[in-house]
Amino acid sequence: MSEEETLFEFPCQFPIKAMGKNIHEFDATVVGIVRKHTDDISEGAIKIRPSKGDKFLSVTVTIEANSKKQLDAIYQDLNDCPEVIMVL
């Protein structure tokens, strides 16, 4: 498989999940990073869930992904963000 080959057919709906501490504006930070790489985040595409103890927050943004390169850039930016603990 070459570097640009993936198991996904683009464009496709792709959920991106980031987790971090439940701090002010964490959800907005995650959405802002994803928005840098896609024009179109539809209504209802953002799901936010606090952890059982309310200490952490999970933010899932479902986008229409257009390429592996786009997804790689989103994941890199999320991983570079100090507030983000984990990206799935």
Query: Does some domain include residue 19?
Result: no
Lowest mean pLDDT: which of 2-11, 15-24, 30-39?
Answer: 2-11
Q: Has residue 6 got a pLDDT over 80?
A: no
Structural domain includes residue 16: no
Is 2 a domain residue?
Answer: no
Q: Per the domain annotation, does 17 fall within a domain?
A: no
Q: Look at residue 70 and tell me if it is in a domain.
A: yes
DSSP code per residue over 4-56:
T--SSPSSEEEEEEEEEE--TTHHHHHHHHHHTT-S---TT-EEEEE-TTSSE
Report the number of distinct structural domains present in the chain: 1
pTM score above 0.85: yes
pLDDT of amino acid 32: 96
Task: Please check whether residue 71 lies inside any domain of the structure.
Answer: yes
Q: What does the pLDDT look like over 26-72, one tens digit per residue? A: 999 999 999 999 988 888 999 999 999 999 999 999 999 999 999 99
* pLDDT at 81 > cutoff 80: yes
Is 45 a domain residue?
A: yes
Range of the domain at 67: 25-87
Decide if 20 is inside a domain.
Answer: no
